[in-house]
Amino acid sequence: MNKTLTLVLAICLTLSSAAMAEIKILKRWAGVSNGRGSAALYLQIQNTSNKPDKLISAQIAEATHTEFHNHIDQGNGILHMGIVDSIPVPQNGIMQFKPGGYHIMMQGLRPLKAGQDSVHATLGFASGQTVQVIAPVQAGGEE
């Protein structure tokens, strides 16, 4: 391999890894599955690009079905959990999932034990980036 080709390849690799690193999962944990076989998955997602992004798909190896949920004030001050199409991740910012806020609801799970099990997620973003995460199951994760 000649030096010019080596240099071009090095630049390409640097550029592609920079482009792929715009979404980072800083934290991840799953709740214990309840008697109906569902549990919430929580993430802390960082977007280092200067364009807003959004989470548009989530496939969980251990679940038969997933939904994006948020708790929404329907005008009476009481928050109700509802399904949303996507979860926004602000430009140069962080989206923090939490009980009572955004989360991924996993359904069709076998019983998951805190401190022992983990779930494997493939996350798709509107920007085209795909991220794989392994989230440990922790006690205390509420819907």
Binding residues (CB under 5 A) for Cu ion: these are 69, 81, 105, 143
Nearer to Cu ion among residue 51 and residue 98 (C-beta): 98
Nearer to Cu ion among residue 28 and residue 69 (C-beta): 69
Nearer to Cu ion among residue 81 and residue 94 (C-beta): 81
- Provide, rounded to whole angstroms, the least separation between the CB of residue 4 and Cu ion: 54
- Provide, rounded to whole angstroms, the least separation between the CB of residue 127 and Cu ion: 25
Distance CA 19, CA 130 (A): 12
- Provide, rounded to whole angstroms, the least separation between the CB of residue 39 and Cu ion: 9
- Provide, rounded to whole angstroms, the least separation between the CB of residue 105 and Cu ion: 4
- Provide, rounded to whole angstroms, the least separation between the CB of residue 1 and Cu ion: 53
The HSE-up count of residue 130 (CA atoms within 13 Å, CB side) is 5
Report the residue closest to Cu ion, judged by CB.
69
- The neighbouring-strand residues paired with 54 are 88
Q: What is the 3-state secondary structure (H, E, C) of 6-53?
A: HHHHHHHHHHHHHHHCCEEEEEEEECCCCCCCCEEEEEEEEECCCCCE
Nearer to Cu ion among residue 70 and residue 129 (C-beta): 70
Residue 40 burial by Cβ neighbours in a 10 Å radius (0-12, 13-18, 19+): buried
Give the chain's count of helices (H) and strands (E).
Answer: 1, 10
